[in-house]
Structure 1
């Protein structure tokens, strides 16, 4: 009987220890899994978390985006290439423009063709952040784009001394161009050829040698003329 009781006690003790060991092992596994999940979550947040400045900029951009409607738009198109356009938006932007084709004369690269240039002129108005109304007027043609407005910077005035010097330079350039154009006229070219050939320019009473030769050929062809009695 004592042996049986001792055996049952020993078996119960072994079962209790085995059950306790199994629960301890399960707890250890759960703790390790929780620690791994927590570490993975921290790594994920650290790797994919956006920068604070970028997040704030994206949020500010999203909050400041506002739909601006076009409340007016008119356009007229002509068959000759001319047009007129006007549009206005909901944030007080007003613009108008018109254009046409300008005749520039014959095309030097295409015989019988005419050169044309697109001319555009107009203006646009908007309100600056400080409440000032900005108006810009512009013209665009074969000389380029030209804009004017009270808000645009302007060059300082030229002093009288500098302006006088510029006028003298332009006058010299103009005189040189006129002189060069005169040198390339047919009369000037013929006179230059005579000077290059003989070293001097022939007088008005002296006929060119080529003209004398042609006159001699003409007399020989016609033969001697008869004298009428």
Structure 2
């Protein structure tokens, strides 16, 4: 009988204990621990924030002259890092500007190297 009571108490304690997923959800609902943002009248900006679960986001947008005289393009650069549920640190860096968008990260797939195909020699066709 004692064993049944002890076993029941242990099952009840485990059932009431918060799971790691619930704790993570609760931390993600918290506001940012740090938040900085700077903007100017031209639309340039810099921002950075850190969340309770350890996500760090930093981004910067600055104007550069475009090819057309008198025009400007907003170049965006940034980085996002976070610790995933598997415990790994993932870092993603990105840029967007005149030469398109570029993203790199230690968790992103890498495209295979292109296969170089030698051109076929031209064959003389009798006429």
- The question of a shared fold, defined as TM-score above 0.5 by the shorter chain, is answered with yes
Shift of 1:80: 4.0
Q: Deviations over 1:36-70 (max 9, x none)?
A: xxxxxxxxxxxxxxxxxxxxxxxxxxx94522221
Instruction: Give the Cα separation in 2 of the matches to 1:101 and 1:71.
Output: 29
Instruction: Give the Cα separation in 2 of the matches to 1:89 and 1:103.
Output: 35
Q: Are 1:141 and 2:63 counterparts?
A: no
**Which structure shows the higher strand fraction?**
2
Greater relative contact order structure (CA < 8 Å, 6+ sep): 2
Unaligned 5+ segments in structure 2 are 1-20, 120-127
Structure 2 counterpart of 1:110: none
Q: Deviations over 1:57-102 (max 9, x none)?
A: xxxxxx9452222100011223443221100100110010111112
Structure 2 counterpart of 1:99: 61
Instruction: Give the Cα separation in 2 of the matches to 1:145 and 1:156.
Output: 19
Structure 2 counterpart of 1:119: 75
Q: Are 1:73 and 2:29 counterparts?
A: no
Instruction: Give the Cα separation in 1 of the matches to 2:42 and 2:56.
Output: 26
Distance 1:69 1:81, change over 3 A: closer
State the TM-score, normalizing by the size of structure 1: 0.38
Unaligned 5+ segments in structure 1 are 1-62, 108-113, 166-229
Q: Are 1:131 and 2:93 counterparts?
A: no
**Which structure shows the higher helix fraction?**
1
The alignment partner of 2:71 has SS state of strand
